[in-house]
């Protein structure tokens, strides 16, 4: 590939007229940039509906994974003094989905949570059943954990089974979590609120437990007073 | 077969084997090592690069008489970046899952030296037909190399091929293979194999034709 690097043409000496050349450079560069802009706008317009549909499908699949009994969903957002059926503008973690079955009965709520993992921030979606006071499922939305080790939090069936019926009981009038969500060493789970960790992915599995506990502590007092309202909103 | 036909085929075929961008020229190592941990990632990355390579080589070749020498690299980069953005959107529309798995490496095709290298060394000096053939050859050669790595790494590191379980539940995956060091191991093994094959075919040529004189 010796031909790759060519000696550039020497700059025109003051005697020559550089204006024609400069004008050509400007015309070519702006022409190419304009063509590039047109192509990009075109492809953006063309693909936007498909990309939106893909994102929607991804969120939907995640919601019905964490609340397996549900078939319909309604999006909500948390506000300062309650909940709002229009989640537009609510950031990640401030949105949730009420999930109903075919008959319109509330089967659970899907909530977003995030926290620092081993590599980067991990974002999860989990289901919460307000009647049985349990977590009904967890799925990882976004993680950059180490492939083969930390990324097992998203794939390991044994680890994910922890969240099929994880106890998240509340006590007192303020609806606070009555005990922590504890991640224990692999094979040492004895209580229903404990998570059986992954050997080789201790930090990642503990991060999931920690973000789940933090989210339950923060969100349950804000969510539980509105469960009856959500129950009535089913169609 | 006419000579013209032969020549065109040669332009295409050199990228596959004799001047394979990965196994012979050792270009574009960053995506090769980073995203070859599964067959589907390798295939998506290879095809994305192939598309950018062919489209940008075609456009560079068509504009080769118009682009002033002083701003040629800037122009090539704008052209390449445009096609990378197109691939970026197209892949999001086709499969969001694969797009998320490839992460930043799709956007990083912009700085893949194979593409700028072919634009500068070949497309800017040849007509569009030859430029397309050259780009196709290089792109297919790159995809082939990625698949070579992706296949071995997914098989050993995850016990599967294209997501289908191969060895059954009792296989203990060799996790290092899908981690970055595995990329280096597998690339090294392939390079060794290719060098051995090349040495053998050279020895045969010498034996057949007799030693070269002068």
**Chain B: residue whose CA lies nearest to A53:** B93
* Contact check, Cβ <8 Å, B92/A1: no
CA distance B116 to B110: 8
Question: Rounded to a whole number, what is the distance in Å from the CA of B95 to chain A's nearest CA?
Answer: 8
pLDDT at B132 over 50: yes
pLDDT digits (tens, 9 = 90+) for B74-120: 999 999 999 999 999 999 999 988 888 887 788 889 988 899 999 99
Nearest to A54 among B75, B92, B175 (CB): B92
Question: Rounded to a whole number, what is the distance in Å from the CA of A12 to chain B's nearest CA?
Answer: 11
Residues in chain A closer than 8 A to B185 (CB atoms): none
Is residue A138 within 8 Å of residue A128, measured between CB atoms? no
**Chain A: residue whose CA lies nearest to B82:** A36
Q: Choose, out of A6, A20, A36, A142, the residue to mutate when testing the contact with B (most B CBs < 10 Å).
A: A36
Residues in chain A: 235
pLDDT digits (tens, 9 = 90+) for A2-15: 444 445 555 555 55
Quote the DSSP letter at residue B123.
Answer: G
CA A207, A213, A217, A220 dihedral sign is: positive
Give me the phi and psi of A76, to 5 degrees please.
-135, 165
CA distance A62 to A20: 60
* Contact check, Cβ <8 Å, B117/A29: no
* Contact check, Cβ <8 Å, A8/B69: yes
* Contact check, Cβ <8 Å, B175/A149: yes
Enter the ipTM.
0.80
Our CA angle for A212, A215, A218, nearest 5°, is 150
Residues in chain B: 214
State chain A's mean pLDDT as an integer. 85
* Contact check, Cβ <8 Å, A28/B66: yes
pLDDT digits (tens, 9 = 90+) for A207-228: 999 999 999 998 998 898 888 8
Greatest extent of chain A over all pairs of C-alpha atoms, in Å: 90
CA distance B62 to B76: 12
SS3 (DSSP) at B102: helix
CA distance B206 to B208: 5
């Amino acid at each position: 590939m010796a031909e790759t690097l060519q000696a550039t043409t020497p700059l025109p000496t003051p005697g020559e007229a550089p204006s024609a050349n400069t004008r050509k450079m400007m015309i070519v560069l702006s022409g190419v940039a304009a063509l590039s802009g047109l192509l990009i706008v075109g492809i953006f317009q063309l693909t936007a509906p498909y990309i939106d549909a893909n994102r929607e499908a991804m969120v939907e699949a995640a919601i019905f994974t964490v609340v397996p009994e549900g078939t319909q969903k309604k999006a909500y957002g948390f506000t300062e003094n309650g909940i709002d059926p229009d989640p537009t503008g609510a950031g990640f973690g401030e949105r949730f989905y009420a999930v109903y079955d075919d008959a319109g009965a509330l089967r659970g709520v899907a909530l977003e949570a995030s926290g620092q993992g081993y590599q980067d921030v991990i974002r999860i979606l989990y289901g919460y059943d307000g009647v049985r006071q349990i977590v009904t499922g967890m799925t990882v939305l976004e993680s950059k954990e180490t492939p083969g080790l930390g990324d097992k939090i998203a794939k390991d069936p044994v680890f994910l089974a922890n969240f099929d019926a994880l106890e998240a009981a509340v006590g007192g009038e303020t609806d606070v979590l009555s005990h922590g969500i504890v991640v224990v060493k692999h094979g040492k789970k004895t209580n229903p609120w404990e998570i059986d960790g992954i050997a080789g992915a201790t930090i990642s599995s503990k991060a999931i437990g920690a973000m789940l506990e933090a989210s339950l502590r923060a969100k349950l007092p804000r969510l539980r007073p509105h469960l009856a309202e959500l129950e009535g909103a089913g169609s | 077969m006419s000579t013209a036909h032969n020549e065109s085929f040669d332009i295409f075929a050199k990228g596959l084997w004799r001047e394979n961008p990965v196994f012979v020229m050792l270009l574009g190592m960053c995506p090769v090592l980073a995203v070859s941990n599964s067959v589907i990632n390798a295939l998506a990355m290879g095809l994305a690069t192939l598309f950018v390579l062919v489209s940008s080589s075609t456009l560079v070749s068509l504009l080769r008489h118009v682009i002033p020498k002083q701003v040629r690299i800037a122009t090539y980069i704008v052209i390449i970046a445009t096609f990378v953005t197109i691939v970026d959107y197209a892949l999001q529309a086709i499969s969001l899952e694969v797009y998320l798995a490839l992460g930043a490496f799709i956007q990083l095709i912009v700085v893949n030296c194979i593409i700028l290298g072919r634009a500068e060394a070949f497309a800017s000096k040849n007509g569009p037909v030859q430029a397309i053939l050259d780009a196709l050859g290089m792109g297919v050669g790159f995809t082939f190399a990625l698949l070579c790595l992706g296949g071995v790494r997914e098989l050993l590191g995850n016990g599967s091929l294209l997501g289908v379980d191969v060895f059954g539940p009792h296989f203990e995956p060799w996790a290092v293979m899908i981690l970055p060091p595995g990329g280096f191991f597998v690339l090294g093994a392939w390079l060794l194999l290719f060098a051995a094959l090349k040495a053998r075919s050279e020895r045969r040529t010498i034996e057949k034709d007799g030693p070269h004189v002068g």
